[in-house]
Copies of this chain bind each other. A is one copy, B any other.
Amino acid sequence: MQISGFGEFDIIEKIFKPGFDHLIPEDVTGIGDDCAIIPIDDKQSNLYTTDLLIEDIHFLRNSITAFELGFKSLAVNLSDIAAMGGKPEGSFLSIGLPPDLEISWIEAFMQGFRKLSEKEYVPLLGGDTTKSSCGIVINVGVRGTILHQQIKRRSAALPGDIIAVLDPLGNSAGGLQIILNHYPDHDCHANLLKQHLTPYPKIAEGRFLAGINKVHAMIDVSDGIGSDLKHIANASDAAAEVYLENIPLSTDLKELCRLHKFDPLKLAVSGGEDYTLLVTIDGLAFDEIAMHYQKQFKSYLYPIGRILEGEPSVVYKKNGEIVELDADGFDHFA
């Protein structure tokens, strides 16, 4: 059987994960959350995450500048640290480069990488550079730290929690459509493209939410909430209900979808690469926490659903009625 017949999560669960459990100390968390968690002492843990980006799979060289790609390569990793509430501390960059690539490309890539490194005070601490026989290959790893008591896991959602996101969804998916379809310029493009090409990781927001006990589960929206919410439901052994009328959509995305006849909800639920955070918060504490959040960040916590007792599942409702949605999120092997 070939890889293409397997899903990404099947490969992880059935081939990569088995056979290591007896080697993992009891207090260490391995594969299965946004980051691995390794305790340092009684108070703190290290977080570690890594992401592999391959040309023509994750990016097209002609559709993203080297600067943007450098920025984004680090951003998607910092987003995983943010998703657990952590503070990023250092990065590691492995890069495979075709021999005919211009040096100016790599310089611009590093300018983008450095820009975000400086903004978030995350030094590049190591890596590997090599020739590539095919396209550009980028692997970034990030190490972070977090207080034990502030770690936000996928498995911590509780029935009664409100599910919320920190930003309108689907903007990045809209940006990708603009690129893939070569749409002529339009006022609605700039923000959508920016969201796709240089997403800003929610580190400050993640750390703020990590400090609040009644914020339970957290995950970053990388594959679309359809997929990412499933991870929370499975890990927390609970059901999730999403109210489609509550999903925040930007004016720009709505305009793009009106012009080109996309379903904005589909882009919002399954488009992926939003790199915002999805959180579940004690239903009784939600209003107060949302108010504090708004005060701090001049931005909303958008409630989009609820966690309920029941078998792990994600159900979509519109005006109280269950809606079937073909919205599994992005699978890297599909």
Q: Once the chains bind, are B123 and A90 in contact (CB under 8 Å)? A: no
Q: Once the chains bind, are A31 and B332 in contact (CB under 8 Å)? A: no
Asked if A99 CB lies within 8 Å of chain B CBs, one says: yes
Asked if A40 CB lies within 8 Å of chain B CBs, one says: yes
Q: Chain B residues near A103 (CB, 8 Å)? A: 1-3, 5-6, 15
Specify how many copies of this chain sit in the oligomer.
2
Q: Once the chains bind, are B31 and A127 in contact (CB under 8 Å)? A: yes
Q: Chain B residues near A137 (CB, 8 Å)? A: 52, 54, 96, 137
Partner of A124, one of B30, B51, B127, B129: B30
From A35, which residue of chain B is reached at the shortest CB distance? B126
Residues of chain A whose beta carbon lies under 8 Å from any beta carbon of chain B: 1-6, 8, 11-12, 15-17, 19-20, 23-24, 28, 30-31, 35-36, 38, 40-41, 46, 48-52, 54-58, 89-90, 92-104, 106-107, 110, 114, 117-118, 121-135, 137, 139, 141, 143, 332-333
CA distance A28 to B134 in the complex (A): 35
- Contacts A99-B333, A134-B134 given; does A15 touch B107 at CB 8 Å: yes
Q: Once the chains bind, are B28 and A125 in contact (CB under 8 Å)? A: yes
A262 CB → nearest B CB, Å? 24
Q: Chain B residues near A48 (CB, 8 Å)? A: 90, 92, 125-126, 141, 143
Q: Once the chains bind, are A2 and B54 in contact (CB under 8 Å)? A: no
From A23, which residue of chain B is reached at the shortest CB distance? B123
Q: Chain B residues near A11 (CB, 8 Å)? A: 106, 129
Q: Once the chains bind, are B121 and A23 in contact (CB under 8 Å)? A: yes
From A96, which residue of chain B is reached at the shortest CB distance? B54
Q: Once the chains bind, are B38 and A143 in contact (CB under 8 Å)? A: yes
Partner of A133, one of B55, B124, B128, B139: B55
CA distance A129 to B139 in the complex (A): 11
Q: Chain B residues near A90 (CB, 8 Å)? A: 28, 30, 36, 38, 48
CA distance A41 to B43 in the complex (A): 13
Partner of A38, one of B93, B100, B107, B125: B125
Q: Once the chains bind, are B3 and A141 in contact (CB under 8 Å)? A: no
Q: Chain B residues near A8 (CB, 8 Å)? A: 129-130
Q: Once the chains bind, are A117 and B49 in contact (CB under 8 Å)? A: no
Q: Chain B residues near A4 (CB, 8 Å)? A: 99-100
Q: Once the chains bind, are B94 and A50 in contact (CB under 8 Å)? A: yes
Q: Chain B residues near A40 (CB, 8 Å)? A: 40-41
From A49, which residue of chain B is reached at the shortest CB distance? B126
A–B pairs, 26, beta carbons within 8 Å: A3-B97, A3-B131, A4-B100, A8-B130, A15-B107, A16-B129, A17-B124, A20-B114, A23-B117, A23-B122, A28-B123, A31-B127, A38-B90, A50-B92, A50-B94, A50-B127, A51-B94, A52-B137, A54-B133, A55-B133, A56-B134, A57-B96, A57-B130, A92-B141, A131-B333, A133-B135
